[in-house]
A and B are shown apart, each in its own frame.
Chain A
Amino acid sequence: MERKYLLGNEAIAHACIEAGVDFVSGYPGTPSSEVVDVLRTQPERSYYLEWSVNEKVALENALAAAWCGIRALCTMKHVGLNVAADPLMTSAYTEVTGGLVILSADDPFAHSSQNEQDTRCYAHFARIPCLDPASVQEAHDMIPAAFALSEEFGLSVIFRPTTRICHSKGDVTLGAVVPSTRKGEFHKDPSQYVVIPSHTRILHKKLNEKQPAIKKRLVELGYNRFEIRGKTAIIASGIAASYVQELLPAGVSFMQIGAYPIDEEWLGAFVSGHEKVLVIEELAPEVEDVVRQVAGCVPVFGKKNGHGSYEGELSPQAVAAILVKAGFLATNPFVQQDPVQNLPLRPPILCAGCLHRSAAYAIKKVFRDAIYPSDIGCYTLGLQLGVVDTTICMGASITVASGIAHSGEPRDVLCTIGDSTFLHTGIQGLLNAVYNGANMTVVILDNRITAMTGHQPNPNTGITACGVESPPVSIDALCRACGVQFVETVDSFDTTGMVHVLEQAKKRKGVKVIIAKQMCVISARRAGIKRGKYQVDTETCTGCGNCIRFGCPAIEFANDKAQINDLCSGCAVCVQLCPVSAIGKEGKK
């Protein structure tokens, strides 16, 4: 068997190939994106693959494929499952014939997310199985089993890795690839696929009747397992189980939960054999709730009585602290050392030469006192530049803008949204704003790529996920079709042009759309585009700080003068900002 050092997402992608996946869809979202990125860049593919425009679209496509009897994978981040929640809930009723695995990656501590919701709750809600790996190897090994489980019960299976699985690495033993011989074929059966009330009532009953057998099967598969070692016990789920194993005291029993729903009878027998039980899991008390239901007189320690937290992520040191508090360890084995205080933070920032920074500059100049709803993408980092007042979820810049505009708030409303986010769930908001007569300006930051999650193509890019050319959508025509009268496209690096168009928009009523276009600087670099670097003539520079306030990481300040470092990518926006023309191309005076 081949052994490789792999990222969790790489191991998961490989396991999908081993399982003979036939159909792949998804929408990028950290920490899930690399699964499809690995699958789409394989030199040979025996499966259909697409980046869909959003998670609902992705799941409905994958569901249909699974209805046709082939194995389908659908990937997203946890909040993407909210977008896909509509098909998710009812797909549990309609069943599948081919295996359908829905990968929804959770992000405890919100490393790269707007919230810390727990996908296990969705599985519980929809009454479908959920697999929750504790290591990269287990994440790999669970995938073929997830497809088989889905086919056995005719239900989609949620696969829930967290950031510390997706973006962890480990030595992974890979399995053999089993090529698929399946071919999609749809068998008409309205009682199964047309969820009118008379059908759905029967389907719901069938779903509920499956539950006891699923619970038994998950124990048989060994994803929920235990070892009796003493009179007290620790029960841990997902990645938390690996932290507990590192610290497990002698003489303490250990139960690992890697699959849901949990068999209460099996769990109850374990718990009743102990004098005290501690439950350790990240986010929601999904395991703890079931333990408490079956515990009877056995004392249960968990986040519900202060042993653990509902938010954030666990770590070996956090688990050690819980073990000490619950009396499972006498002292914390890790030396407590405080980090050095008051260091300047180094948060992520927009790249030198990013189109979003120059757009933000022009926006601030023209719409000085406006309200700025924004959206999810690199441009959320515009918070540091003062052009982000709200961010909730994908597509909510336009809808929040129209809500504020209709609220009676007297100031101008200008929202920003990226091209991929606009195509994800922005269009409906724009249609609604025009239809209902909002007065607002929408700036679509158009770099023709889904940049933040790793440069995935979208319908605006002109190529598919697999590199096949496709007709790029016209955002201009799309906005006009929604009824927008004022649609202007402008180069984001052209500060004068941007300011002019923004001034025009400011004067008008109704919904105005400005498409600020420029290539993502990372895409440009990869494409070999060289614009040349710029430099500051220190004799001319008066040290006014205009360029420094622009916030570009290529511009520094030393000895009361500005200077440009190696990060410069040649966007030349600072040249336009300098009041004394001190900035010019390198090598020229």
Chain B
Amino acid sequence: MSGSFDILMVGIGGQGTILASNILGEACLIEGRSVKGAETHGMAQRGGSVESHIRIDGLFGPLIPPGQTDLMIAFDLLEALRYSHYMKKRGRIVVNNHLVLPTSVYTQKIVAPTEDEIIATLKKNPLCLLDADKMAADAGSPLSQNVVMLGAASGSIPLKPESLLEAVRRLVPKKTVEINVKAFESGRAFGTEC
């Protein structure tokens, strides 16, 4: 078996999952650890459901099998639910308390589960719910939502927080380093409480 720490990041195309996965990869390099990952690119990115697999200490393939995920970082409640079968029994779910309804709900009148119903189902696993949109805005930019999420999850990630912060500094646009460091720290502070 792989022996890796498997992180599944899910969300909606355009929410910044790719930068977040790059930060995790860079932090692994800083610590001299091996890392493998897989991402959604191309047409599926146009507002569709996207997933990023990151396997810290991964040696083989990039894909996490269902039931094997140690940590899920979800940018949207519905997407967290969609991929919940990937979770290990006690795997932690860090999810943005926000639900974007797919257009199909309006155009085809498909019934979506409510936020409360989704949260009740996700609670089978240790769950950390946070308002990443607001925390990102407070840090100085709504675009730092992905870094807030990483910060909130960082307590469960087997990487030193200094390595993650250094990776954030290296990878975010130069002008936004300060905002993103703040975003990471506020996420981390929240994450240790929940």
Show the binding face of A for B, using Cβ within 8 Å: 3-5, 7, 30-31, 34, 111-112, 136, 164, 166-171, 239, 242-243, 245-247, 315-317, 320, 333-340, 343-351, 378, 381, 384, 452-453, 548-549, 551-553, 555-557
Contacts and interface: CB of A to CB of B under 8 A. Distances in A.
A167 B41 contact: yes
B55 to A, nearest CB: 9
Contacts of B173: none
Contact of A168 (B37, B49, B84): B37
Contacts of A338: 85
Contacts of A344: 78, 101-102, 104-105, 110-112
| Best-surrounded residue of A171, A242, A315, A555 (most CB of chain B within 10 A) | A171
B60 A170 contact: no
A166 B46 CA distance: 19
Given A243-B60, A548-B107, A549-B107, A452 B43 contact: yes
| 3 pairs of A and B residues whose beta carbons are closest in the complex | A5-B25, A30-B42, A335-B67
B189 to A, nearest CB: 27
Nearest to B82: A343
A557 B110 CA distance: 13
Contacts of A30: 41-43
22 contacts: A3-B29, A5-B28, A5-B37, A112-B41, A112-B43, A168-B62, A170-B35, A170-B36, A245-B61, A316-B65, A317-B65, A337-B67, A343-B113, A344-B78, A344-B104, A345-B102, A346-B12, A346-B82, A349-B48, A453-B42, A556-B101, A557-B106
A346 B63 contact: no
Interface of B: 1-2, 12-13, 21-22, 25-26, 28-29, 33-49, 59-63, 65-68, 78-79, 81-85, 89, 101-107, 110-113, 121
Given A334-B67, A340-B84, A344-B105, A242 B13 contact: no
A347 B104 contact: yes
B90 to A, nearest CB: 12
B42 A31 contact: yes
A495 to B, nearest CB: 19
A164 B104 contact: no
B26 A348 contact: no
A246 B107 contact: no
Nearest to A112: B42
A316 B67 contact: no
Contacts of B40: 111, 167
Given A349-B47, A350-B46, A334 B65 contact: yes
A315 B63 CA distance: 7
